[in-house]
């Protein structure tokens, strides 16, 4: 039984899909106006873990993920500047170019982290028709009103509007008051469609039944695209915890207004990542992205390992020290895999078979208990150290666990040191023996440039791949 915490009911619930054996899952995607930072990476790695655990339990998963390439304003409300247009102006590029560039970066980052590609990726700008139709449906059902700057959603028409966050209505209203729009009937009301202001030329705008030119509000895209691809009964909807009080609360309201029922059964939210104990922000210069990881010679999968060491509902504090520790742990794991690949198969006795079963059961019980990955990792390390399990069985079990961990353990091959590097290492030894330490150091540097590092041990020099040493 796979249990997962549902933000809506505030309880762990057994996953019972609408259609037996099939899970429809919608993932709130990136706003593609800037780099994919460490916080995003954590949320999407954890979402990937959720998908993998569903698959490990035998469910077929259809994951739909959007790309927000229009409509998301600064401050997540209705009055700030448009993130895409502002980024385009700053970079002296078109909003379309910016979107394309950061979408590419996002998916490349996800690939490096072994995050499975969604079954369907859908861009907001390619679903304007569906969004307009949905707004029209809500309009017909009496949930909307028009102001001088757009079509708004009347949140008082939803009787349990605050159910997802569980926050008292006046607290939600207070949060919404940050931005003052005198024409809004209630502070929590939000725009469904915005009109392009007079005298402004936007790069992204479309004709609509309400005004000549305009663009969608931020929340409408997710309601429109999730229902288009998954129907109006959806098993799981995912996102970061910041989405609970505004974006997902409003999405839920839209769904109810359009269909008469809540649409999503289970809301899955990831806690935020902090960097060196602080919120991420450009001014604090702690806004790291994949380039920073690679520039410091870390394997991106070390980052995935680091994310696995924390529970998705607890906030995680990223430090370069913790990444270093994660990379050492991952390398140890890879070493175990390499060793078990090369060692001879040892016949598995009955005792050993019972042990393997126990490991499997423990692992399953932890991942099925609201994705307890730290405990699942602990089971794996116990297995790694267990002398009573043969290398072959260890390898098989590690490969099986890695269907969930996604650390690419199956692909770990014995490191092959290139001939050129081997020759250089030999040459360095000759220099050293001759007392030419300057020459030896020069060769060491050359080896380093080729991506390998020499470690002097009692048994002589040992060569390792650079990324494996931290
Ligand atoms: P955005 O592009 O801002 O909509 O963010 C994309 C996803 O990343 C959303 O699900 C956010 O909740 C999530 N996210 C943004 N910042 C962080 C962070 N610091 N830690 C974890 N998740 C984050
Ligand atoms: Zn969304």
pLDDT at residue number 226: 98
- Kindly report the protein residue whose alpha carbon is nearest to atom 19 of ligand 1: 39
Residue whose entry in the numeric block shows the structure tokens 């209505």: 169
Going along the chain from its start, the domains and CATH numbers come out as: 3-270 (3.40.50.620), 278-411 (1.10.730.10), 419-468 (no CATH)
Give the contacts of 114 (CB within 8 A, at least 6 positions apart). Answer: 48, 301, 304, 406, 407, 408
Best probe residue, ligand 1, of 7, 29, 43 (max atoms within 8 Å of C-beta): 43
Which two structure tokens, joined as six digits, stand for 262?
Answer: 């809540």
Nearest-atom index, ligand 1, CA of 274? 19
**Torsion angle, CA of 332/336/341/343, rounded to 10 degrees?**
130
Distance 239 CA to ligand 2 centre (A): 7
- Kindly report the protein residue whose alpha carbon is nearest to atom 8 of ligand 1: 40
154-163 pLDDT, tens digit per residue, is 999 999 999 9
Supply the pTM of this predicted model: 0.87
Is the separation of the CB atoms in 373 and 311 below 8 Å? yes
213 φ, ψ (degrees, to nearest 5): -130, 145
- Kindly report the protein residue whose alpha carbon is nearest to atom 6 of ligand 1: 30
Ligand nearest, relative to CA of residue 41: 1
DSSP secondary-structure letter at 11? E
Q: Which secondary-structure segment (H or E) carries 132?
A: helix 128-140
Distance 222 CA to ligand 2 centre (A): 5
Strand-pair category, 22-27 with 60-67: parallel
Ligand 2 is an ion; residues with CB less than 5 A from it: 28, 222
- Kindly report the protein residue whose alpha carbon is nearest to atom 16 of ligand 1: 39
285-336 pLDDT, tens digit per residue, is 889 999 999 999 899 999 999 999 999 999 999 999 999 999 999 999 998 8
The strand ranges marked E within 227-292 are: 234-240, 264-270, 273-275
Best probe residue, ligand 1, of 76, 237, 240 (max atoms within 8 Å of C-beta): 240
101-126 pLDDT, tens digit per residue, is 999 999 999 999 999 999 999 999 99
Task: Count other Cβ atoms within 10 Å, centred on residue 54.
Answer: 22
Distance 219 CA to ligand 2 centre (A): 6
Confidence of residue 211 (pLDDT cuts 50, 70, 90): confident
Which two structure tokens, joined as six digits, stand for 50?
Answer: 């959720």
pLDDT at residue number 344: 52
Q: Which of 171-185, 348-362, 428-442 has the highest mean pLDDT?
A: 428-442
Nearest-atom index, ligand 1, CA of 32? 2
Residues 135-159 have a mean pLDDT of: 96
Residues 148-152 have a mean pLDDT of: 93
Is the separation of the CB atoms in 404 and 367 below 8 Å? yes
pLDDT at residue number 247: 95
Compute the chain's Rg from CA coordinates.
Answer: 26
Sign of CA dihedral 250, 253, 258, 263: positive
Q: To the nearest whole number, what is the mean pLDDT of the chain?
A: 91
Residues with CB under 6 A from ligand 1: 28, 30-31, 39-40, 42-43, 239-240, 242-243, 270, 272-273, 280
Classify residue 385 by burial, with Cβ atoms within 10 Å: 0-12, 13-18, 19+.
exposed
Residues shown for the chain? 470
């Amino acid at each position: 039984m796979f249990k997962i915490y549902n933000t809506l009911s505030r309880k762990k619930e057994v996953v019972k899909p609408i259609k037996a054996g099939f899970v429809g899952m919608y993932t709130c995607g990136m706003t593609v106006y800037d780099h994919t930072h460490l916080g995003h990476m954590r949320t999407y790695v954890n979402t990937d873990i959720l998908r993998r655990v569903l698959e490990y339990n035998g469910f077929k998963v259809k994951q739909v993920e959007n790309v927000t390439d229009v409509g998301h304003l600064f401050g997540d409300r209705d009055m700030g500047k448009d993130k895409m247009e502002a980024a385009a102006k700053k970079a002296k590029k078109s909003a379309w170019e910016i979107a394309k560039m950061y979408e590419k970066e996002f998916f490349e980052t996800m690939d490096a982290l072994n995050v499975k590609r969604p079954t369907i990726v859908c861009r907001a700008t390619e679903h304007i028709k569906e969004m307009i139709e949905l707004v029209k449906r809500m309009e017909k059902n009496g949930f909307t009103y028009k102001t001088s700057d757009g079509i708004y959603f009347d949140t008082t028409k939803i009787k349990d509007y605050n159910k997802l966050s569980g926050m008292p209505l006046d607290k939600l209203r207070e949060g919404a008051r940050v931005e003052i729009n005198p024409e809004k009937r209630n502070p929590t009301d939000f725009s469904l469609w915005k009109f392009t202001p007079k005298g402004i030329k936007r790069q992204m705008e479309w004709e609509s039944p309400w005004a000549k030119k305009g663009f969608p509000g931020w929340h409408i895209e997710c309601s429109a695209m999730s229902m288009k691809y998954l129907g109006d009964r959806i098993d799981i909807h995912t996102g970061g915890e910041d989405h609970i009080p505004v974006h997902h609360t409003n999405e839920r309201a839209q769904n109810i207004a359009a269909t008469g029922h809540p649409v999503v059964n289970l809301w899955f939210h990831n806690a935020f990542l902090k960097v060196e104990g602080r919120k991420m922000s450009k001014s604090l210069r702690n806004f790291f992205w994949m380039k920073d990881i690679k520039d410091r010679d870390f394997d991106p999968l070390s980052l995935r390992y680091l994310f696995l060491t924390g529970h998705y509902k607890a906030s995680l504090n990223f430090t370069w020290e913790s990444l270093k520790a994660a990379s050492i742990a991952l390398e140890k794991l890879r070493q175990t895999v390499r060793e078990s690949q090369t060692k001879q198969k040892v016949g598995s006795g009955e005792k050993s078979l019972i042990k393997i079963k126990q490991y499997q059961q423990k692992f399953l019980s932890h991942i099925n208990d609201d994705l307890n990955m730290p405990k699942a990792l602990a089971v794996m390390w116990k297995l790694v150290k267990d002398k009573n399990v043969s290398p072959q069985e260890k390898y098989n079990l590690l490969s099986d666990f890695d269907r969930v961990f996604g650390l690419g353990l199956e692909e770990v091959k014995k490191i092959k040191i290139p001939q050129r590097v081997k020759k250089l290492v030999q040459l360095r030894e000759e220099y050293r023996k001759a007392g030419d330490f300057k020459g030896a150091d020069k060769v060491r540097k050359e080896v380093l440039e080729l991506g390998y590092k020499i470690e002097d041990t009692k048994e002589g020099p040992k060569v390792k791949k650079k990324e494996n040493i931290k």
